[in-house]
A and B are shown apart, each in its own frame.
Chain A
Amino acid sequence: MPDTAQAAENPLSFQDLILTLHRYWAAQGCVILQPYDMEMGAGTFHPATTLRALGPKPWRAAYVQPSRRPSDGRYGENPNRLQHYYQYQVIMKPSPADAQDLLLGSYAAMGLDPLRHDFRFVEDDWESPTLGAWGLGWEVWCDGMEVGQFTYFQQVGGIPVVLPSFEMTYGLERLAMYVQDVENVYDLDFNGAGTSYGDVFLRAEREYSAHNFEHADTAMLTRHFEDAERECAGLLGHGLALPAYDQCIKASHLFNLLDARGVISVAERAAYIARVRTLAKGCAEAWVAGEAG
């Protein structure tokens, strides 16, 4: 365990936090992947989690995934909310017997001493209606703050998993704010050399909030949703699980944008979610078929 007292005096920068997690999980046998090159709402959507959670082959991976939540945009004015933020995602399949200890070890590596900080596992079952996925697990609390989401996957794309995975998601900005004792996300020390999170992202938050809430062309988005849906079905016809899944990710993000623009009614909402779930199911089935063959 590193010298946590020293770590508290000289807290990790945002990028050092990521590098610490990379080193830590690489040492646990995870392949360190780079972000998936598409817009998505959460790290879970990355095929390295969704698709790899299915089938009989063991798998360990960790990566940062930029996550887009169009309706969470606040034009850069809210100290805690962003329409674009980073999730750190770990998946280990099958789930190791010491998953909880591994996880707690990662917090210690960040300088959070469990005999000074109050760590807790508080019930929080995870469900993604768009992915047709669910699992059981906890929110991980540190001094009353949620610092991660821990899930044992049970089903993905409507298919029960063969080997249950352990999935861990860290909200990196929130965690960094805690480690650095900063109350406004834009004040985060990004690199330990004078660049703040605001320097990097404030303008983007303003512009994307305006895009998400005011200017995104909803007729075009609706059309693109339908295109993606059709393309996904077509590719599935050729058994191409991964390219088809790209279209599913695309459809999901287009739906989130339409939702942020406020043009989807409650009743339509459920229908859109069901449409994305149908795509996710098809991709999951095609993936499993390919793994077996």
Chain B
Amino acid sequence: MPELFVELFSEEIPARMQARAAEDLRRLLTEALAALSPEDVRTFHGPRRIALVAQVAGAVAAAATVERGPRLSAPEQALAGFLRKHGATRDDLRPDGDYWMLERISEAQPAASVIAAAMPPLLRQFPWPKSMRWGGTSDFTWVRPLRRIVCLLDGTVVPFALRDGDDDGHGLASGNLTEGHRFHAPGAFAVESCADWQAKLRTRYVVVDAGHRSEAIENDLGPLSDRHGVVWVPDAGLLDEVTGLVEWPVVRMGRIDAAYMDLPPEVMQVSMRVNQRYFAFREPQGGAAPWFAFVANIEPEDGGATMIAGNERVLRARFADARYFWDLDRSARLESRVPALDSVTFHARIGTQGARVVRLRRLAARIAPMVGADPALAERAALLCKADLTTGMVGEFPELQGVMGRYYALHDGEAPEVADAVRDHYAPKGPNEAPPAAPVSIAAALADKLDLLAGFFAIGERPTGSGDPYALRRAALGVIRIVRENGLRLSLDALIEAAAEGQPAPVPAADLRDFIVERLRVQMRAEGARHDVLAAIFKAAPDGDIVRLLARTDAVTAFLGTQDGRDLLAGHRRAANILRIEGRKDGPFEGAVEAGLLTEPAERVLAEVLAEIGPAALDLLAREDFAGAMAVLARLRAPLDAFFDQVTVNIGDNAALRRNRLFLLNGVRSTMDRIADFSQIEG
């Protein structure tokens, strides 16, 4: 099979978009050339090019198609329309039965013409996250200016151009020319195949395979760190990013000035990783090492002395800036910054951060005893938790909010629990971060999230299907994770009631509780757990105690996994069906079963068992022995099965017997529904 090779050479593509673009190229080209059955498709991506190689069929085989047209009796206009649509003439038609038939022979099409036809529309519609216009007046857009297109079929250029009517398509046309490294090998050269392209680019300082570039970086980092007696801190995300920033990776290490090694590690991390894309190292014993590594895109003529000095200088300037804020911020106590929060708007309709802090203090103190925290410490943490928003460091690096607050609190001599809570009241910020476990931190973190939720619910700002600008879902999930992962026994209702105080408007408490429980259900579904069981239990008995709700869910889920459970669920359905159908005539059937009207043995047994287990199950539920309650419920199964086997409910000639039996089934259903709304359970 012939080799198809495509390279799209452009100005620098953002690193985060390259892999996706290569994947899109594979998908779109495979779809567009399906008739050529592409095989062994492989893609390449880097800062200035995405490319693809595939084996394709040499041609699309000839084929005959037959299309049924209008009836022979159809008016002339209909026939003319049909011919126009298919670009055919009267001579192409033959009558077949009542219809005209259009017979067409499509001739064999060479692969080159299929590819040449497919490429321009594919490139015009390429799904870049953001694309742009450049140069003259062409409306052809690309992520950054597209400079060259290589398109070869077994070494021969597949000719096409991007011209489209009056639009000159930037004068771009396919060819066999590409370019090497921007500085080491400027200028264009011709390629013949994918292998030739790879080999020639290699000698022109371009490693086309992102995997090879990333390996080369890793292979350099190891020995370099050994030479300096330090350990590289692996960072897959950063490795991916720098791989997308270079065509010819060259790793060098630079020193960190000792004068800055006492900056908080998080501060150093932000400057190094986020701003500079540097790798960090640690000492063999574990502390931060005074080294960093950067990945350059040139083989420097002087071995790297100039660029190492340059990078060290840049980092020094960054650290000097950080040091300035670090020293300046610590010259004022965190507490002295609290009043300034009165002029920091949190949300136009909810008020200032200062007003939030007033609410948070009260709320954290209220929550403290529920989670085993000292109320005075919790209140102190709430007082200080937002104060770092007015510091220079957080102004400069917003991602350090909380982290800096903790350092400044420790510097001020605040209790360690308070300082930790200042940092951790934002936790968990995402699915990979653990929720706080220390009591004071828990109180502050719950207060922060509940106040946020209550505030936005009060002003009617709720997440919609498409948007959640204030991250309310994340806040609700945070509440759930804090409660669940710490096994906290507390009532959401009480928390919400406390959080509603001092809000700008009344808080719809039940809606907010349902919103939080709904996040729990979504979370369980994501975990592959029985979210339907949770919903059924919550519907039967709305409960703001998440831990109890989950214990109950676990017990019912376990029960439904047993034969008794499955059979009883089936029995519940059957009872519910009968009650629904009969209920249309003369329901509902809410009344006491009369023993005297129970004639069949099976119904007598069922009534006896029901009378016995009803109170027993409720008692066990009250004592939170959910497994016990389910064991009791299981005793219903055999009598219920026997009842359905042996007793006819709908006996036409005796209305009193019928009604008594319906009372009995209703009793079975309502007893079960006290545990969960079984009609909501799937499966």
Asked if A212 is an interface residue, CB under 8 A from chain B, the answer is: no
Cβ-neighbour of B297 out of A80, A118, A136, A161 (below 8 A): A118
* Binary interface encoding of chain B residues 239-251 relative to chain A, with 1 for a CB under 8 A from any of its CBs, else 0: 0000001100000
Q: What residues on A are CB-neighbors of B344 within 8 Å?
A: 265-266
Q: Which residues of the other chain, B, contact A122 by a CB distance below 8 angstroms?
A: 12, 245
Contacts A138-B12, A152-B134: A116 and B313 contacting too (C-beta < 8 A)? no
Within 8 A of B (CB), among A79-106: 79-81, 94-97, 100, 104
A178 and B310 contacting across the interface, CB-CB below 8 Å: yes
A116→B301 contact, CB < 8 A: yes
A199 at the interface (CB under 8 A from B): no
B404 to chain A, nearest CB (A): 19
**One of A78, A81, A265 near B343 (C-beta < 8 A):** A265
Query: Knowing A152-B134, A164-B134, A266-B345 touch, does A144 contact B301 (C-beta < 8 A)?
Result: no
Rounded to whole angstroms, the CA-CA distance of A248 and B309 in the bound complex is 43
A79 to B323, CA, bound (A): 12
Q: Are A143 and B307 neighbours in the complex by a CB distance under 8 Å?
A: yes
As a 0/1 sequence over residues 175 to 214 of chain A, the CB contacts with chain B under 8 angstroms (1 = contact) are: 0001001010000000000000000000000000000000
B284 at the interface (CB under 8 A from A): no
Cβ-based interface call for A123 (8 A): yes
Max chain B Cβ within 10 angstroms of own Cβ: one of A81, A104, A135, A267: A267
Chain A: which residue is nearest B250 at the CB level? Answer: A118
**Cβ contact within 8 Å between B316 and A145:** no
Residues of A within 8 A of B313 (CB): 143, 145, 178, 181, 183
**By the criterion CB–CB under 8 Å, are A114 and B135 in contact?**
no
- In chain B, positions 93-150 with a C-beta closer than 8 Å to chain A are 130, 132-137, 143-145, 147
Most buried by A among B294, B296, B315, B347: B296
Cβ proximity bits A107-135 to B, threshold 8 Å, 1 near / 0 not:
00000011111111111010000000001
Q: How far is the CA of A95 from the CA of B135 in the complex (A)?
A: 5
Q: How far is the CA of A96 from the CA of B246 in the complex (A)?
A: 24
Q: Determine whether A2 belongs to the interface, using a CB cutoff of 8 Å to chain B.
A: no
Closest Cβ of chain B: how far from A1's Cβ, in Å? 11
Please, how many angstroms separate the alpha-carbon atoms of A164 and B140 in the complex?
12
A44 within 8 A of B: no
Interface size class for chain B?
A: 35 or more
Could you say which of B11, B47, B137, B306 contacts A117, with CB atoms under 8 Å apart? B306
Q: Is the CB of B11 within 8 A of A100?
A: yes
Q: How many whole Å from B121's CB to the nearest CB in chain A? A: 23
- Kindly provide the distance from the CB of A137 to the nearest chain B CB, expressed in whole angstroms: 8
Please determine whether B134 and A80 come into contact, CB atoms closer than 8 angstroms.
no
B132/A121 in contact, CB under 8 A: no
Chain B 1-14: CB-based contact to A (< 8 A → 1; otherwise 0): 00000000001101
The answer to whether A265 and B345 touch across the interface, beta carbons within 8 angstroms, is yes
Residues of B within 8 A of A183 (CB): 313, 316-317, 320
What is the minimal beta-carbon distance from A262 to any residue of chain B, in angstroms? 7
In the complex with contacts A144-B311, A152-B132, A121-B11 CB distance below 8 A: yes
B183 close to chain A: CB less than 8 A: yes
B615: interface (CB < 8 Å): no
| CB-CB under 8 A for A80 and B320, given A97-B135, A114-B183 | yes
A144-B135 contact in complex given A116-B302, A116-B307, A121-B11, C-beta closer than 8 Å: no
Whether a CB of chain B sits under 8 angstroms from the CB of A169 is: no
- Chain B residues within 8 Å of A95, by CB: 134-135, 145
User: Smallest CB–CB gap between B333 and chain A, Å?
Assistant: 20
B300 surroundings in chain A (CB, below 8 A): 115-116, 118
Are B135 and A94 neighbours in the complex by a CB distance under 8 Å? Answer: yes
Give the residues in chain B near A162, CB-CB below 8 Å.
Answer: 137
**B132 and A164 form a contact (CB under 8 A):** yes
Chain A residues contacting B345 (CB-CB under 8 Å) are 265-267
User: Would A143 and B314 be within 8 Å (CB), given that A94-B136, A97-B135, A164-B133 are in contact?
Assistant: yes
Instruction: List 6 contacting pairs A-B, 8 Å CB cutoff, sorted by A.
Output: A78-B321, A114-B182, A125-B130, A163-B136, A265-B344, A267-B347
Considering the complex of A and B, which 6 residue pairs feature the smallest CB-CB distances, nearest first? Answer: A143-B310, A123-B14, A267-B348, A266-B345, A121-B12, A118-B296
A interface with B by C-beta (< 8 Å): 78-81, 94-97, 100, 104, 113-123, 125, 135-138, 142-145, 152, 154, 161-164, 178, 181, 183, 262, 265-267
